Amino acid sequence: MRIRDPLKKPQLFEVYAITIYFAVTICLILFYSYNLFNSL
């Protein structure tokens, strides 16, 4: 149990960080594509 507990926390943190990273990336892509669409 002592070995598994430290491994679970970084995994949850990594999933949380990756989720935020992809969410921000998608928002930026939508934002830039929206600006390009308006500029046309």
At residue 38 the predicted structure's pLDDT band, cuts being 50, 70 and 90, is confident
List the one residue out of 16, 15, 39 whose CA is nearest residue 31. 39
Query: pLDDT: is 38 or 4 the higher one?
Result: 38
19 token code pair: 């989720």
Query: Cα 36 vs. chain centroid, distance in angstroms?
Result: 23
Average pLDDT of span 18-23: 95
pLDDT of 9-19, one tens digit each? Answer: 767 888 899 99
pTM over the 0.85 mark: no
DSSP 1-40: -TTHHHHHHHHHHHHHHHHHHHHHHHHHHHHHHHHHHHH-
- Structure-token match 């892509």, residue found: 29
